[in-house]
Amino acid sequence: MPVQTHDHYAWTAYTTWQTSVDRLIQPAAMFLQYCSFLHHNGISDYASKYTFASDGPSEEDLQEPLEFLSRFLGPSGEWDSLQFSNITNEVQAYSLISLDTEKKLFSIHPLVYAWSRTTVSNPEKYMSTTGSILGMALSKHPQHDIQLRSLAICPHVELAVQMDAQVALVFKGNMN
């Protein structure tokens, strides 16, 4: 005799999330996966938009992070907030992330966050890339903005350190 559920819904939450991710365009799916290596609250584009003028490791060493971040650039090679919005709007459309419109920060439900991390085929690569993005962001924040932004990025850096990420220490000397 088949087991009957209360609402007769056959899919698990994980199946529903996977179906949603399968429908995302590749940059949106990658964005969600990279976000699963940040803290699940307080995700913003601030970590990304300051990264391209970094004085840290060579471009060769930063190939993965720069390749990922290039999806958010306009034709002139500058950060494109509209491109970022298009990608994040797609992920939001499937309720995989939510936006606090007042603070302009994204969050991922802890269960979606934990599940998304398990779907990554090479977690070390994702963590390393995320650590490099954080390093670039910290090294390039404008001086007038550094204290506030450093506070906002702190939970992400703490998580990276807890996960034993190689948060590009080469950037440390550039944070004067």
Would you state the pLDDT for residue 133?
A: 83
Would you state the pLDDT for residue 151?
A: 65
Spell out where the chain has E strands: 98-100, 105-107
Would you state the pLDDT for residue 112?
A: 93
Lookup: tokens for 102: 């007042």
Would you state the pLDDT for residue 159?
A: 77
Half-sphere exposure of 64 (CA within 13 A, CB side): 14
SS3 157: helix
Residue 64 CA: distances (Å) to CA of 8, 19, 69, 127, 158: 44, 26, 9, 11, 21
> Residue for token digits 């529903």?
16
Angle between helices 146-162 and 123-140 in degrees, nearest 10: 160
Would you state the pLDDT for residue 63?
A: 85
Q: What is the reported pTM? A: 0.76
pLDDT tens-digit profile, the chain (176 residues): 445 455 665 568 888 899 999 999 999 999 999 999 999 988 887 655 655 555 556 667 788 888 888 888 888 888 888 999 999 999 999 999 999 999 888 999 999 999 999 999 999 888 888 888 887 777 765 665 555 556 677 777 777 777 765 554 444 444 44
- Locate the domains of the chain by residue range: 18-171
Lookup: tokens for 18: 């996977």
Would you state the pLDDT for residue 136?
A: 78
Q: Side chain identity at 45, as an amino acid letter?
A: D
Would you state the pLDDT for residue 165?
A: 55
SS3 97: coil
Q: Side chain identity at 97, as an amino acid letter?
A: I
Lookup: tokens for 112: 């979606």
